[in-house]
Amino acid sequence: MIAGGSWLLVLATITSAIAVAFGRRRGIACLGAAVVVAVETIGAAVLFFVANVTIGIGLVLAARRLTPVYLTIYEVSDLVLLIISLLQALVFETWRRSRTA
Amino acid sequence: MMTRAWVAACRVVGALTVAGFLVAAFTSVPNRIAWRLTVPPDLGPADAIVVLAVSVNSDGSLSDASLRRALAGIALFRKGLAQRIVFLGMSGEAEARARLAISMGVRRDDILTEGLEPTTRAEAERMRVVLRERLGVRTVLLVTDVFHMRRARALFERVGFVVRPATTELSVLSAGTPERRLRLVRGVGEELAARMYYRLFHYL
């Protein structure tokens, strides 16, 4: 079931272990909380992505009906939209946490 | 209240995304799902070969996927599986493919080009008029990629053709690195979304 490329995970585990060893003095207890924050930010990025794609498809379909220009729906499947969504999530989550802190 | 709901949603979606990423990148699950969605090739004699459109680059040259489909169609024609080959594609794609075919020994008289159809549904409808009604074509060898074939075949069958799938890019199904498996997931995802869209508007 496990396919090729798993050594990349080993690589990430090694560098993570080194980073944790260096940052140990700060206390390892808050590491779990940091993982939760990371997971929440990833979730926010996915929600932004879904919203971007949904609105994008709506705009493409509206443009097809209201103008003579033909736009393909594949326009909104550009990988860059995923990166933009991640940036949106980072900014939004940082802002939200700064307000609640 | 709103913030709590947002945080809970982010947490659940985030956890599912991380788990999904690990499964997609580091296991063979994407390959298995992709194989299940695949239409196996059925190469044999037909009245015409129809090469569906992809895209052209901004300089007018054929994109990689377009070139692969065109070459697959030309190879089938040169094997003598049909006496006519149709190239589809907007923005000069069909003509560029025709020029390629001629440079590889296909006679101009055996080539048809159609370049005004923006969707697979429009391509099937145009082929119904041009091939079925005007030329009496019944069986077509349909050339398109592995993800697109199931939807394309259904559309061509819906307008009355007997379709023999000539599936291209089968090699992507055996993607063996995390990056290639993620591309596979993207291809499957795009095609599943396209099928949902076609079903929603009753095109399938």
Q: pLDDT digits over B49-88, tens only?
A: 999 999 999 999 999 999 999 999 999 999 999 999 999 9
- Asked if the structure places residue B88 within a domain, the reply is yes
Q: Which residues of A touch B151 (CB under 8 A)?
A: none
- Domain check: are B181 and B97 in the same one? no
Tell me which residue in B10, B26, B118 faces A44 most closely, judged by beta carbons: B10
- Domain check: are B115 and B188 in the same one? no
Q: Which residue has the higher pLDDT, A92 or A25?
A: A92
Mark yes or no for CB contact B190/A77 under 8 Å.
Answer: yes
- Asked if the structure places residue B43 within a domain, the reply is no
- Domain check: are B95 and B130 in the same one? yes
- pTM for the full model? 0.86
Give the pLDDT of residue B135.
Answer: 96
**Adjacency order of strands within the sheet including B48-51:** B111-114, B85-88, B48-51, B139-145, B162-168
**Quick one: which of A28, A7, A6 has its CA closest to A17?**
A28
Give the pLDDT of residue A1.
Answer: 58
Q: Which residue has the higher pLDDT, A100 or B15?
A: B15
- Domain check: are B57 and B109 in the same one? yes
CATH, residue B124: 3.40.50.620
CA-only gyration radius of chain B, Å: 20
- Asked if the structure places residue B42 within a domain, the reply is no
- B87 is in which domain, residue-wise? 48-168
Tell me the shortest Cα–Cα distance from B202 to chain A, in angstroms.
16
- Domain check: are B17 and B106 in the same one? no
Mark yes or no for CB contact A43/B27 under 8 Å.
Answer: no
A 23-82 near B (Cβ less than 8 A): 36, 38-44, 46-47, 70, 72-74, 77
User: At A71, is the pLDDT very low, low, confident or very high (cuts 50, 70, 90)?
Assistant: confident
- Domain check: are B53 and B27 in the same one? no
Distance CA B44, CA B41 (A): 9
Residue A30 token pair: 């808050």
- Asked if the structure places residue B116 within a domain, the reply is yes
- Domain check: are B183 and B128 in the same one? no
The reply to whether ipTM tops 0.85 is yes
Q: How many folded domains does chain B comprise?
A: 2
- Provide the mean pLDDT of chain B: 95
